[in-house]
């Protein structure tokens, strides 16, 4: 029942850091996806995520999931909204956008999505989603209540609340295409206060932040945009996450 969660837990318990590749079904070149994704699997990515904040149709989500499923790795929906759900994925990050001011992203989307997730038999991965970067589509769409960069203890308090609510994952998001990734101080404080599995994404375009973030407690590193911009660099980042030299 909890196949994807177990897959992730087992790797983390063995001391591995994980890398997930995010594919936006609205932006992907479907004709090249088979080849591109194969090359990311060869580099060592551990799972695929599919989703985007805007303009993803259910048909695009399904087609993308079907192609990615061929590799035998988990395909996880990373929903901008319920339009990203597809029965062709294995699991879904069932995410509370904790620092949103909009009730829809705090609970109403979940009420809409839950019966569909049950019908599609997707495994829900209960996740706290915190958007840190502000100059991004997700921050605008999600009506974000900003977290001051100089106050990491606020992120610690969100993480503690998430754990007390029974959530298992926390996703610290700079936002797709952000100019810089989240500060390593944030995963550090999450680890200080909780046992949540920590996912970091947004704005990762080089190896340096990967090293810093994994050293600071990130369990899973997500890259998306770099796959579209520079596939070879995306492969290098994956190899850096999977290398044990941190
Ligand atoms: C976005 O964290 C992911 O939700 C990935 O971000 O596209 O900047 O890699 P990038």
Query: In Å, how far are 28, 52, 147, 202 from 137, measured between CA atoms?
Result: 17, 9, 16, 11
The two tokens of residue 29 are 């070149």
What domain range includes position 76?
3-241
Nearest-Å Rg of the Cα atoms of the chain is 16
- The pLDDT tens digits of the residues spanning 106-130 come to 999 999 999 999 999 999 999 999 9
* Rounded distance from Cα 53 to ligand 1 centre (Å): 11
The answer to whether residue 174 scores a pLDDT higher than 60 is: yes
221 within a domain of the structure (yes/no): yes
Q: What is the DSSP letter of 107?
A: I
Largest pairwise CA distance in the chain: 45
Query: In Å, how far are 31, 149, 209 from 184, measured between CA atoms?
Result: 37, 11, 8
38 within a domain of the structure (yes/no): yes
* Distance between CA atoms of residues 71 and 51, nearest Å: 18
Confidence (pTM): 0.96
Residues touching ligand 1 (Cβ under 6 Å) are: 22, 173, 176-178, 201-204, 222-226
Residue to mutate (ligand 1; options 170, 178, 225, 237; most atoms within 8 A of CB) = 225
246 within a domain of the structure (yes/no): no
* Rounded distance from Cα 23 to ligand 1 centre (Å): 9
The domain spanning residue 96 has which CATH number? 3.20.20.390
Residue to mutate (ligand 1; options 223, 227, 233; most atoms within 8 A of CB) = 223
Residue to mutate (ligand 1; options 28, 54, 76, 175; most atoms within 8 A of CB) = 175
Q: What is the 3-state secondary structure (H, E, C) of 139-171?
A: HHHCCECCCCCCCHHHHHHHHHHHHHCCCCEEE
Q: How confident is the model at residue 149 (pLDDT cuts 50, 70, 90)?
A: confident
Q: What is the DSSP letter of 183?
A: P
Domain total of the chain: 1
136 within a domain of the structure (yes/no): yes
């Amino acid at each position: 029942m909890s196949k994807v969660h177990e897959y992730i837990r087992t790797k983390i318990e063995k001391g591995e850091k994980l890398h997930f590749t995010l594919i936006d079904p609205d932006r992907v070149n479907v004709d090249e996806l088979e080849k591109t994704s194969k090359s990311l699997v060869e580099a060592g990515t551990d799972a695929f995520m599919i989703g985007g904040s805007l303009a993803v149709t259910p048909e695009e989500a399904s087609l993308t999931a079907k192609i990615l499923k061929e590799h035998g790795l988990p395909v996880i929906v990373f929903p901008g909204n319920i339009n990203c759900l597809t029965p062709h994925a294995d699991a879904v990050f069932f995410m509370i956008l904790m620092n949103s001011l909009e009730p829809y992203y705090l609970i109403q989307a979940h009420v809409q999505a839950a019966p569909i997730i049950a019908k599609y038999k997707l495994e829900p991965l209960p996740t706290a989603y915190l958007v840190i970067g502000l100059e991004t589509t997700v921050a605008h769409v999600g009506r974000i209540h900003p977290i001051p960069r100089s106050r990491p203890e606020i992120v610690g308090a969100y993480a503690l609340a998430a754990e007390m609510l029974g959530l298992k994952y926390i996703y610290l998001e700079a936002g797709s295409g952000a100019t810089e990734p989240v500060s390593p101080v944030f995963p550090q404080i999450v680890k200080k206060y909780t046992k949540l599995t920590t996912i970091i994404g947004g704005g990762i375009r080089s190896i340096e932040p990967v090293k810093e973030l994994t050293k600071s407690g990130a369990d899973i590193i997500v890259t998306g945009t770099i796959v579209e911009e520079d596939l070879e660099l995306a492969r290098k980042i994956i190899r850096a996450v999977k290398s044990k030299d941190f």
